[in-house]
Structure 1
């Protein structure tokens, strides 16, 4: 029997590393569901029975469908390649757009419905229908754009694909969860250190327990032990309400929600586009790690799972996670996505997930996300050519601005009125307002990072024409808010409708790209372009 045939015949459903991967992927999904619930119920007052009984089951069904399909894709690739080390693409709820849906769409819409005279229950139902319709809008966009995935992957250099996602990983999956980790320092830091011990240093744990569950168990014991003993400031025992089972049957409720999506299209369409770009990036990331999934198939699965979730009551879109190489490092194969899909999907329908998200402390969950973020960042450098490493580093910078946007946009940090004043405050002799510059740089940061890195790679490879074309694309994208949106929330804009300072900022940023494109184009006309400078 050939080696390939032998590998196919003994392809296992589960390996030990799948336990680590399962806990990591489940934690990601539970933490996002926990945030959605905290924001909608705690901040905006959406009735808990609507969040847990109507929104969560359909949302969890999308996770189930997507992970089942990715499990099947991984097993098919393993059989076709004759390898037993293929790791499935991890799928779950997208953190940035799920947070955006809760804070920028669903929560404000609930308050708006209340101002229209609807009582709390009726406003909650209308908000749920808006969430369903929003998923269908984003899912349809992803479905259409998924067929361009392979072409985009061929055109955009690897440094741009991995660099843009590496910056997001370091800032959003590394730094932000680290802050949450250290809000309960003893439990959080111990959990993070133990995860690094078992996953990076490959250290042994007692009784041959799986490393990730061991680290989480220690963290939970420390968190609740110290809290109940009065040694952890800010600790409180959660007041858990276990909802009754709710089945996500298909419904036409989204039809009533479609008209309500119109004011939010400038947010929903970028959310969908961001997921397409992210899906392309994670496909490239998996390819760099040795698992050659077709980009179109990866994008189609996330589109289908999002559409299924929307039709069945979900309000948060699914996406392939950017940590596939990190899950491969954990030793996960295809069993972890199967387990995660079943746990989140069935648990969401039975009320188990809704109860758990109220018990699991963020400080103990966040360290796993920190580890995944670090792993993605490292891979961004390891999987690109050495001379393109500077493009990877450049791609990180817009993510820093987006990180500042998240914190500065928190009303607990800066009062919204004060934030608006800072956005419009022009300092004579210092150019555009500093706060406006940070916000505009962060808006559309993933696409910005890809364009910057693509242009720089083209210059390094002595292809000035490609660099000029990329910069001109960036100039046009700036005018319409695809990148550097002058809308504080990052919405798309129409340049001819802008006025005052916002118009000036948009045209200044667009002109910056156009002027640089002109300069590089003229320099590229030289017969013997100067040699690239080695930064050393």
Structure 2
């Protein structure tokens, strides 16, 4: 009987995990709404009454499935400490959908003569269709996930997501924290004290809850007094926005709109498959052995359902499973998160929370999750591969810089394009950064994998990995020479872009040849040493 896991649906650690996962999803939905409404002037009602309900439904269904998978694994393994895989909205592609697809499409529809409402509806239909396209792609590729996992070293799998964690889940939220430092830094300090240093809080309260309460109190007490400067914004009036995420065929009207954006949409789906493989490896390293295929199938189906019901942001298994495990979360936190997010999309309180809670209050938990993921990449990888893990961070750093520089509130699209295409003195620095960051997850895996091969003394294997990287770069799956990161057929590009493609692909080819020659030299040395012996 001692081997039978507890049948409790909730543990004290599940509250921490629930708050962390809800905050994570809220922060992404807040960015989506802020970008569309604040940057592009998108009608708020379309975002909150049409986009949010279906998007939240995908989170609900995915988390319910992952909860069931965790309960099943606990029964089969006889362990009580199985932690469910967290599922939520993907940050990089949600940012990309808002800034590179939905926002520009809305402006394009208005410029083509549609009135604002018609342009918003057409953009919503484009968003739905994009999710359906990505969901179908992920469903097909989910059956090949385990094969990738068998052939990519752990340093490549964990290093790539640690890079995402460090710069996208860690640094970008840290910027939001320091926009209102009095509020955000206090919340971050509490999170570090309670969850990193394992300090005890009064009455045993969860660290995430205390950090959230302290941040909200500081914001809403000091803000009206003028002590937060321009960092305080009065909350919008509470509104009940009831909308059922019912299946609709309107996504079919958006299929035609997706054609110009397929070079962006398809890589978004591909990156989520790769990310799903990586997070499954991350959970396995933490002790929870989930089926890679099942994790990817749930992700694909949740995305498809969200698209059918009006959603515009794809779901993905989150990379912080070991961090939630460290909080003491089991399977209750995903159940609670799914229900709260799903019902929030229906009854409208999710949109009110997005309008009410500032990012400076939400962001500290994201920084903690980022720290946990980055630490795990080193702890779960043999120390001799640490250099490979670090090397895999650079493409993610480039992607973060590109995200900030391509934000139209910083640099106008026209100026960005002029800087990107400035080849007066060779490849422009902005082009190098952007091209390095495009397809960054796959690039990180390739870079870490070939360094691991070198460390293991397998230069020929490293050369083959580099040849794969060169082939992928030819078609823009990595190092896309289009600023938005689209894929292409290289012979259809203009002369300048084609030249960039050949240079990056040629770099991989040249290094592969060098490594092959070095591997032959090493073989000759080994033969000489054996003959002399």
TM-score over 0.5 for the pair: yes
Counting only pairs closer than 5 Å after superposition, residues 304-323 of structure 1 correspond to structure 2 as 304-323=301-320
Q: CA RMSD for the aligned pairs?
A: 1.4
Shift of 1:79: 0.5
Whether 1:118 aligns to 2:109 is no
CA distance in 2, matches of 1:344, 1:529: 62
Whether 1:207 aligns to 2:207 is no
Residue-by-residue CA offset, 1:416-454 (whole Å, 9 max, x unaligned): 3332232222354xx422111111111111111100111
Residue-by-residue CA offset, 1:319-346 (whole Å, 9 max, x unaligned): 0000001111111000000000000001
Change beyond 3 A, Cα 1:15–1:529 = farther
Change beyond 3 A, Cα 1:409–1:241 = same
Q: Residue 373 of structure 2 is aligned with which of 353, 376, 385? A: 376
Change beyond 3 A, Cα 1:526–1:259 = same
Corresponding residue number in structure 2 for 1:534: none
Q: Secondary structure at the match of 1:319?
A: strand
Runs of 4 or more above 4 Å deviation? none
CA distance in 1, matches of 2:193, 2:180: 20
Whether 1:520 aligns to 2:522 is no
Kept in 1, the 8 Å contact 2:86–2:321? The answer is yes
Whether 1:70 aligns to 2:66 is yes
Q: Residue 439 of structure 2 is aligned with which of 444, 469, 488? A: 444
Kept in 1, the 8 Å contact 2:99–2:407? The answer is no
Q: Residue 413 of structure 1 is aligned with which of 392, 410, 415? A: 410
Give TM-score scaled by structure 2 length: 0.96
Kept in 2, the 8 Å contact 1:523–1:529? The answer is no
Gaps of 5+ in 2: 527-533
> Relative to structure 2, which stretch is displaced further, 333-342 or 106-115?
106-115
Residue-by-residue CA offset, 1:37-63 (whole Å, 9 max, x unaligned): 111122222222111111110100000
Whether 1:160 aligns to 2:172 is no
Shift of 1:113: 1.8
CA distance in 1, matches of 2:96, 2:463: 33
Q: Residue 357 of structure 2 is aligned with which of 357, 360, 370? A: 360
Q: Residue 491 of structure 1 is aligned with which of 486, 490, 501? A: 486
Change beyond 3 A, Cα 1:171–1:274 = same
Whether 1:192 aligns to 2:188 is yes
Corresponding residue number in structure 1 for 2:499: 504
Kept in 2, the 8 Å contact 1:195–1:215? The answer is yes
Aligned residues: 525
Residue-by-residue CA offset, 1:465-491 (whole Å, 9 max, x unaligned): 321211111111111111111000111
Residue-by-residue CA offset, 1:119-147 (whole Å, 9 max, x unaligned): 22222221111111110000000000000
Corresponding residue number in structure 2 for 1:432: 427
Whether 1:349 aligns to 2:349 is no
Change beyond 3 A, Cα 1:529–1:445 = farther
Change beyond 3 A, Cα 1:481–1:240 = farther
Shift of 1:379: 0.4
> Relative to structure 2, which stretch is displaced further, 35-44 or 155-164?
35-44
Gaps of 5+ in 1: 532-536
CA distance in 2, matches of 1:375, 1:527: 39
Shift of 1:227: 0.4
